[in-house]
């Protein structure tokens, strides 16, 4: 049975690849527009939000800084989450670092022999989360124009990870950590260079995967698969068909969340669930980071549960954030048109104008009076000169 299933899957993969090839060759405009859209997302969102974090997280792991956690904190993390002292910093950091960062750190720890395979597979589903640059830049401010939705998304995703970590701790405690020598903390130029080069390669793989899924999404939209899935989802939710189709596109590639309708707060729980889930493209990125050495089944199960928890946490907290946002908006309400300030200002301006005009008219009258006096003096002087001339003529 497994043999036939494997052959059927290979045939399906081959047929899908052939259809995608035909799509790219026949509908070149749609394929090129999809790839251009993916390039813009990579340049505007993915690379700025991930590259620096990936470099310094790699330095954080390679330098041995994860071993600097206090002993009491390691015991507390072991008691609550079943995680060792070197794993707990990775768990807390990766929730806000970006999707593939946690998987990359865990793969480095597993490759160095500091994690068991089963432990790394379980932790890969927990050490997962969207970065603040993506949440606030691509979703919160772009779709809602404020930071409150981004805060709600981060809280919902982190709450889902913490609750699942408490549940998965039962299985993590069964995984005995490997006995390794104590690590020394060391940072060198060579190590920094290797981390930059390795992060650049990983970043290139992530962007290439996003571009490929942009073409896949365009193909599914042209064939009507996205619309059909949207109609199916709209049948048992409060969403309309267009909104559901857009959420299907986000499920395929979460970086397309910035293209959702703007200002719709009712979509926020669905966005929270999808950002916690990650989507198909992020799953492929995670599989590429682990290079196929870690099973993706625990990862998919944990992330699906996290998506459901994040959806309901966001839905529970949404009225609080909406009320706070409404109060902030009402505080910025402009002044009413019935205020007396414009009338008072008009009266003052009128008085000033009358004062100015009165001053000018008074000055003009004074100047005219002076000119008339000068004229009379001039006439009187002229008459005196004329009489004097007559007297001289008589003499």
Are 165 and 287 members of one domain? Answer: yes
Number of compact structural domains in the chain: 2
CA 375 vs CA 19, 71, 325, 371, 386: distances in Å: 106, 107, 77, 6, 17
Please tell me the predicted confidence (pLDDT) of residue 66: 63
Residue 290 lies in a domain: yes
Looking at the fold, whether 320 and 349 belong to one and the same domain comes out as no
Tell whether 346 and 294 lie within a shared domain.
no
Report pLDDT for 275. 92
91 or 69, which is more confident: 91
pLDDT digits (tens, 9 = 90+) for 172-221: 887 765 555 556 667 777 778 888 888 888 888 888 888 888 888 888 88
Residue 5 lies in a domain: no
Q: Is residue 150 part of a domain?
A: yes
User: If DSSP codes are grouped into helix, strand and coil, which group holds residue 145?
Assistant: coil
Q: Same domain for 298 and 367?
A: no
Q: What share of the chain is helix, strand, coil (3-state, %, to 5)?
A: 80, 0, 20
Confirm if 16 and 180 have CB atoms less than 8 A apart. no
- pLDDT, residue 160, reads 93
Query: CA Rg, the chain, in Å?
Result: 37
Q: Are residues 126 and 38 in the same domain?
A: yes
Residue 144 and residue 52 share a domain: yes
**Is residue 335 one of the residues assigned to a domain?**
no
Q: Is residue 19 part of a domain?
A: no
pTM: predicted TM-score of the whole model, two decimal places: 0.73
Q: Render pLDDT for 224-283 as a digit per residue (tens, 0 to 9).
A: 888 888 888 888 888 888 888 889 988 988 888 888 888 888 889 999 999 999 888 888
Given this model, what pLDDT does residue 326 score? 65
**One domain, residues 228 and 94:** yes
What is the average pLDDT score of the chain?
77
Looking at the structure, do residues 348 and 370 belong to the same domain, yes or no? yes
Model pLDDT, residue 353: 42
What CA–CA distances, in Å, run from 16 to 29, 105, 219, 333? 20, 33, 11, 55
Angle (CA) 293-134-244 rounded to 5° is 90
Q: Which domain holds residue 355?
A: 342-395
Range 326-344 average pLDDT: 45
* 12-49 tens-digit pLDDT: 878 888 888 888 888 888 889 888 988 888 888 788 87
Assess whether 134 and 271 both reside in one domain: yes
Among the candidates 330, 353, 368, a domain finishes at 330
**Pair (34, 157) in one structural domain:** yes
In a domain, 83, yes or no: yes
Residue 226's Cβ-count burial label (10 Å; 0-12, 13-18, 19+) is buried
């Amino acid at each position: 049975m497994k043999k036939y299933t494997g052959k059927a899957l290979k045939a399906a993969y081959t047929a899908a690849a052939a259809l995608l090839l035909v799509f790219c060759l026949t509908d070149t405009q749609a394929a090129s527009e999809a790839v251009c859209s993916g390039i813009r997302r990579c340049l505007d969102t993915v690379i700025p939000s991930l590259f620096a974090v990936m470099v310094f997280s790699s330095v954080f792991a390679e330098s041995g800084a994860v071993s600097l956690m206090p002993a009491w904190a390691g015991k507390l993390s072991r008691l609550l989450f079943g995680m060792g002292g070197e794993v707990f910093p990775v768990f807390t950091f990766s929730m806000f670092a970006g999707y593939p960062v946690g998987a990359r750190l865990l793969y480095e720890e597993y490759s160095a022999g500091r994690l068991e395979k089963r432990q790394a597979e379980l932790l890969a589903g927990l050490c997962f989360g969207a970065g603040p640059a993506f949440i606030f830049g691509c979703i919160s401010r772009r779709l809602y124009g404020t930071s409150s939705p981004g805060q709600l998304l981060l809280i919902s995703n982190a709450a889902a990870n913490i609750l699942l970590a408490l549940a998965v701790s039962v299985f993590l405690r069964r995984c005995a950590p490997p006995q390794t020598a104590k690590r020394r903390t060391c940072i060198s130029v060579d190590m920094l260079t290797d981390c930059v080069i390795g992060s650049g390669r990983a970043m290139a793989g992530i962007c290439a995967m996003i571009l490929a899924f942009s073409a896949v999404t365009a193909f599914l939209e042209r064939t009507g698969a996205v619309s059909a899935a949207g109609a199916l989802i709209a049948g048992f939710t409060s969403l309309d068909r267009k909104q559901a189709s857009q959420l299907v596109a986000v499920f395929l590639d979460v970086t397309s969340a910035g293209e959702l309708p703007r200002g719709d707060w009712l979509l926020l729980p669905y966005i929270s669930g999808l950002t916690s889930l990650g989507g198909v493209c992020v799953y492929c990125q995670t599989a590429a980071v682990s290079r196929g050495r870690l099973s993706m089944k625990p990862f998919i199960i944990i992330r699906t549960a996290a998506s459901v928890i994040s959806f309901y946490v966001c839905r529970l907290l949404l009225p609080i954030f909406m009320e706070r946002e409404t109060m902030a908006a009402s505080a910025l309400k402009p002044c009413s048109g019935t205020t007396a300030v414009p009338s008072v200002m008009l009266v003052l301006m009128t008085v000033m104008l009358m004062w100015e005009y009165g001053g000018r008219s008074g000055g003009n009258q004074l100047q005219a009076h002076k000119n008339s006096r000068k004229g009379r003096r001039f006439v009187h002087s002229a008459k005196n000169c004329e009489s004097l001339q007559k007297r001289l003529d008589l003499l």
